Structure 1
Amino acid sequence: MTPSAEELLAVARLYWGADLTYVFRQEPSPEDLRYQALWDEKNKEGPRWGALLKELRVALPECKVWDYTPPLANPSFGALVYPPYERVMSRPQYIWTVAGYLSILAPVYTVHCVRHHYLGKRCLDSKVFLGPIPLELQDIADTVARRIEADFGATALPLDIAQTPIPLYVNFMKPPETTLFHALFTSEPWNIP
């Protein structure tokens, strides 16, 4: 069962501050201390997440699958799946990534896409697609979702709940731009390698 927006906000308040009181202090906030302690606990699940990535590599042999779990940067384990593409150096092109995130704060996950606009090796722009997955990436996204559900028992967070604005500061996101998506998964969904 998917937690409500109110339940998820209550959880997020434990780990993210409602003001900037501690920004210029050297000591961590109570929320920072709880967040670090939770990551210390969740890091024990690293081998389990590694097993999920291996399963994805077997299930999606034509794709490249990478771990994207920067310690403490995101409140989630992350998997990035790169469909096959041929880089063309002489003209602009779009390269897609399917991103799956399993929150460490609540038993929820999300799968979305990022489209990078390249000219040669230079990325000109990145755009996040949190809504419907493009049809050509749907099988990959479904595979990622099924593995997260099967291996961790998490439920998909509906987009309308994920986009609920919250009055919290999450890394570089601040109200009124901050949403539950930022608090539960990543504050920079476009910023992936």
Structure 2
Amino acid sequence: MLAIARRYWRADQTHDFRLDPSPEYVRYEGLWDEKRKEFNRWEALLQELQRALPDCKVWDYTPPTANPSFGALVYPPSEEVTHRPQVTWTVAGYLSILAPVYTVHCVRREFLGHQLRSAKAFLGPIPLELRGIADIVARGIEAHYGATALPLEVAQTPVPLYVNLMKPPETTLFHALFTADPWNIL
């Protein structure tokens, strides 16, 4: 996995302030150009997830070139109240464009009124009340793409790469294959 990630992410910052893109970024943009052609396939999966989870809201979260993955956000039902809930949970599923792997994790967000106070990604075990949703997302990605779940212990492997704003020694395979900021969702 590290060898794959190195094809698209640099181990230094020598191109940060240059006008010409790095060879890694040129490859990354080229790969996204190819993968954009598969977006209808991704949308079909999202529609299938919405049918399987009728009480949830399923959203696409694929900002091309910002993340090296297609992304799905699933918002579980919440009580209808006039004010936004203080704590919300979201199930996030990412399918890497770099390798045939995926991940499903949760994001917990806390609000004060309508203002976001904090957001935290939970890459480890899925909370019990969200496991059914996470399982449906995982099975959908596996069925549509034949991808394999990247084990957490592998995903958390540190890599000496610069991935967007993530820098070594904090960068992991998770960041290089899925997203550099898993807590930053809609």
1:156 pairs with 146, 149, 159, which one?
Answer: 149
Task: Please identify, of 119-128 and 90-99, the stretch whose mean Cα deviation from structure 2 is larger.
Answer: 90-99
The 1-side partners of 2:135 and 2:107 are apart by 16
Matched, 1:16 2:9: yes
Aligned to 1:112: 105
Name the counterpart of 1:47.
40
Show structure 1 runs of 4+ deviating over 4 A: 87-92
For the 8 Å contact 2:32–2:65, the answer to whether it is kept is yes
Q: In the alignment, what sits opposite 1:36? A: 29
Question: Which of residues 87, 101, 105 is equivalent to 2:94?
Answer: 101
**Structure-1 residue corresponding to 2:118:** 125
Provide the rounded CA distance (Å) in 2 between the counterparts of 1:149 and 1:71: 21
Q: Per-residue deviation at 1:89?
A: 6.2
Instruction: Give the match's secondary structure for 1:115.
Output: strand
Q: Distance in 1 between matches of 2:84 and 2:15?
A: 47
Q: CA deviation at 1:152?
A: 0.2
Higher mean alpha-carbon deviation, 79-88 vs 129-138, is at 79-88
1:154-193 CA-to-partner distances (Å, cap 9, x unmatched) read 0000000000000000000000000000000000000001
Q: Secondary structure at the match of 2:86?
A: strand
Q: Is structure 2 residue 51 aligned with structure 1 residue 68?
A: no
Deviation at 1:93, TM superposition (A): 1.6
- The superposition leaves residues 94-132 of structure 1 with CA deviations (integer Å, 9 ceiling, x where unpaired) of 100000000000000000000000122111100110000
| 1:82 maps onto 2:75 in alignment | yes
The unaligned stretches of length 5 or more in structure 1 are: 1-7
Select the residue among 158, 165, 170 that pairs with 1:172. 165
Q: What's the offset of the Cα at 1:86?
A: 2.8
Cα RMSD of the aligned pairs, angstroms, is: 1.2
Is residue 72–residue 92 contact of structure 2 (8 Å, CA) maintained in 1?
Answer: yes
Instruction: Give the number of aligned pairs.
Output: 186
Paired residue type of 1:150: A
**Does the CA-based 8 Å contact 1:165-1:179 persist in structure 2?**
yes
Given the two structures, how large is their TM-score scaled by the length of structure 2?
A: 0.97
- 5+ residue gaps, structure 2, are none
Deviates more, 1:52-61 or 1:87-96: 87-96
